[in-house]
Amino acid sequence: MSPPKVSIIRTGTANTASVLNAFTKLGATPELTSDPKEVIEAQYVVLPGVGSFGAAMEELVANDLVDPIVQRANSGKPLLAICVGLQVLCTSSEESPKSIGLGIVDASITRFKNELPIPQLGWNTIEIKSGCNAARAYLTPGEAYFANSYRLECVPPGFNVAMSCYGSPFVAGFERNGLLACQFHPELSGRWGLELLESWLCQSGAMSC
Amino acid sequence: MLTRRIIPCLDVRDGRVVKGVQFSGLRDAGSPAELAQRYEAQGADELVMLDVSATPEGRQTQLETVRAIREVLFIPLTVGGGVRSVEQAQALLEAGADKVSMNTAAFERPQLITQIADRFGRQCTVVAIDAATNEQGSWEVVTLSGQNRTGVDAIEWARQCEQKGGGEILLTCWDRDGTQSGYELDLIKQVTQAVSIPIIASGGAANASHLNEAIDAGASAVLVASILHDGLTTVESLKTELRNMNVEVRL
């Protein structure tokens, strides 16, 4: 069986080398793309993080990628969103009040409000709380690397969630069918992160493992 | 709970790790990628690579070194040493760095901090501050690898770095670097009180107690070099000791 192709959306500013390397390590063939058709049709698609919410949305709008990503997320096809990638799935963010998000998740992104250092930089605990909306497809308890000043406080119904805490609880990640969204960086979260990416590759698509 | 970070630092010259390795019992300790992989396996939370090449020819190997490390490393990588422009930062990020660290160039042109933060994000923008005590007993910024005493107050400069868009400060006490006599706690305390971005403490660590002191003083992370390269301890045993001192670490 040929190695799965992973299409990583070219964001112009994000450091994509770490994401590319992680998928290469897992035996996949990662490629950068900004082609709307490919974003709809590719086997696997990754939306990596960039500097700010507004900059990320501008780039998606400029490349006509807004509708393709929304279409893909709603179809249940494999889609991985990382860091700001998770945030732009929402409707808006305090970081860039004039920008409109993709609106796949009906929620707003807010800034951490506490006395702790911001940005949150480092490894934090991923918790899967018991309950009907607990993540069960990909996300597992562990420790993951975060680099963020803004966060999603809770996820609306319809998504399965993993939480973390920095001063107060926030959404570490969520999943729905083939969609996996991570506020942390799985590609920088050591072995645990690689296992998460592998689990997404295996379970979200047709790849046989 | 966010854990405190232990960050091994590789000083690289012409593609080889230089600090402390001459006394090491490790085989091939001079290969940056090999050391990077070893430290990740030991439980390092991130890695910093500082290019200390003296010549432009030496610097050209920098991107190759970053690529070689990235291929085997699955934790964050910060790269610094001679970063003077947005283009250079971009090349390092494309090669596999996750953050870039600026030092002398940021001091000479503080707008560089803003340019890099605007382009790549605050979380990607590290400012390295080297400080030394002066005759008045306060902290002064030194640049050009300690050769130039600037007369500028290090605490005030740290505040400016945050205002300009810096996301993290790599704080080195130049008086203590490589001495293994412990971190300069007064400097760490003053800077962490002055800014709200995370501080990485650097310069002078010999053992887990020194790391604990720096963390107690407010550091979010500690940089460790010689004692690891010389094989005197491992990241894992430092973390085990820190956990016994009730410091939250990832083990």
Model pLDDT for residues A91-142, shown as the tens digit of each residue: 999 999 999 999 999 999 999 998 899 999 999 999 998 888 999 899 999 9
Confidence band (pLDDT; 50, 70, 90) for A12? low
For residue A187, is pLDDT > 70? yes
Nearest CA in chain B to A127: B1
Q: Burial level of B206, CB count in 10 A (0-12/13-18/19+)?
A: middle
Tell me the percentage of chain B whose pLDDT exceeds 90. 70
Q: Does B124 touch chain A (CB under 8 A)?
A: yes
Confidence band (pLDDT; 50, 70, 90) for B79? very high
With the C-alpha atoms ordered A127, A128, A131, A132, is the resulting torsion angle positive or negative?
A: positive
The pLDDT value given to residue B30:
78
Nearest to B74 among A147, A149, A194 (CB): A194
- Do B74 and A191 lie within an 8 Å CB cutoff? yes
- Do B97 and A15 lie within an 8 Å CB cutoff? yes
Confidence band (pLDDT; 50, 70, 90) for A79? very high
- Do B124 and A51 lie within an 8 Å CB cutoff? yes
Average pLDDT on A80-95 reads: 96
- Do B70 and A122 lie within an 8 Å CB cutoff? no
The span from the CA of A67 to the CA of A64, in Å, is: 7
Measured between CA atoms, how close is B82 to chain A, in angstroms?
A: 20
The pLDDT value given to residue B174:
84
The pLDDT value given to residue A26:
96
The pLDDT value given to residue B155:
98
The pLDDT value given to residue A1:
62
A69 CB-side CA count, 13 A: 30
Count: domains in chain A:
1
Q: For residue B203, which phi and psi values (nearest 5 degrees)? A: 100, 100
Residues of B with catalytic function: 11, 130
- Do B123 and A147 lie within an 8 Å CB cutoff? yes
- Do A50 and B121 lie within an 8 Å CB cutoff? yes
Which tens digit of pLDDT belongs to each residue from B174-197? 887 666 788 899 999 999 999 999
A83, A121, A168, A191: which to substitute to probe chain B, counting the most B Cβ within 10 Å? Answer: A121
Instruction: Give a yes or no: residue A126 inside a domain.
Output: yes
Rounded to two decimals, the ipTM of the complex is: 0.93
Residues of A with catalytic function: 83, 185, 187
Average pLDDT on A65-74 reads: 97
Q: Does B93 touch chain A (CB under 8 A)?
A: yes
Nearest to A13 among B95, B120, B250 (CB): B120
For residue A146, is pLDDT > 50? yes
Q: How many CB atoms lie within 10 A of CB B119?
A: 18
The average confidence (pLDDT) of chain A is 93
For residues B55 and B246, which has the higher predicted lDDT (pLDDT)?
B246
Average pLDDT on A154-179 reads: 96
- Do A123 and B45 lie within an 8 Å CB cutoff? yes
Nearest to B74 among A116, A146, A187 (CB): A187
- Which residues of chain B make contact with A193, given a CB cutoff of 8 A? 74
Average pLDDT on B40-56 reads: 89
For residues A204 and B46, which has the higher predicted lDDT (pLDDT)?
B46
Instruction: Give a yes or no: residue A124 inside a domain.
Output: yes
Measured between CA atoms, how close is B93 to chain A, in angstroms?
A: 5
The pLDDT value given to residue B28:
43
- Which residues of chain B make contact with A124, given a CB cutoff of 8 A? 1-3
The pLDDT value given to residue B144:
83
Name the range with the highest mean pLDDT among A13-22, B42-51, B131-140, B198-207.
Answer: B42-51
Q: Does B75 touch chain A (CB under 8 A)?
A: yes
Instruction: Give a yes or no: residue A128 inside a domain.
Output: yes
Which residue, among B43, B59, B60, has the nearest Cα to B51 in the 3D structure? Answer: B59
Nearest CA in chain A to B168: A119
The pLDDT value given to residue B19:
63
Nearest to A190 among B40, B67, B167 (CB): B40
For residues B23 and B188, which has the higher predicted lDDT (pLDDT)?
B188
Measured between CA atoms, how close is A75 to chain B, in angstroms?
A: 31
The pLDDT value given to residue B13:
85
Residue type, A134: A
- Do B220 and A121 lie within an 8 Å CB cutoff? yes
> Tell me, what CATH number does A68's domain have?
3.40.50.880
Nearest CA in chain A to B218: A117
The pLDDT value given to residue A52:
85
- Which residues of chain A make contact with B40, given a CB cutoff of 8 A? 190
- Do B74 and A147 lie within an 8 Å CB cutoff? no
User: By three-state DSSP, how is residue B163 classified?
Assistant: helix
User: By three-state DSSP, how is residue A148 classified?
Assistant: strand
Instruction: Give a yes or no: residue A92 inside a domain.
Output: yes
The pLDDT value given to residue B29:
52
Tell me the percentage of chain A whose pLDDT exceeds 90. 85
The pLDDT value given to residue B229:
87
Confidence band (pLDDT; 50, 70, 90) for B22? very low
For residue B3, is pLDDT > 90? yes
CB neighbour burial string for A118-136, b if at least 16 within 10 angstroms, e if fewer: bbbbbbbbbbbeeeeeebe
Instruction: Give a yes or no: residue A55 inside a domain.
Output: yes
Instruction: Give a yes or no: residue A207 inside a domain.
Output: no
Which tens digit of pLDDT belongs to each residue from B141-185? 998 877 889 999 999 999 999 999 999 999 998 887 666 788 899
Q: Domain span at residue A178?
A: 5-202
The pLDDT value given to residue A99:
96
The pLDDT value given to residue B231:
87
| Distance of alpha carbon A172 from the chain centroid | 10
The pLDDT value given to residue A104:
97
Q: Which domains does chain B have, with CATH numbers?
A: 5-244 (3.20.20.70)
Q: Does B198 touch chain A (CB under 8 A)?
A: yes
The average confidence (pLDDT) of chain B is 90
Instruction: Give a yes or no: residue A209 inside a domain.
Output: no
Confidence band (pLDDT; 50, 70, 90) for B21? very low
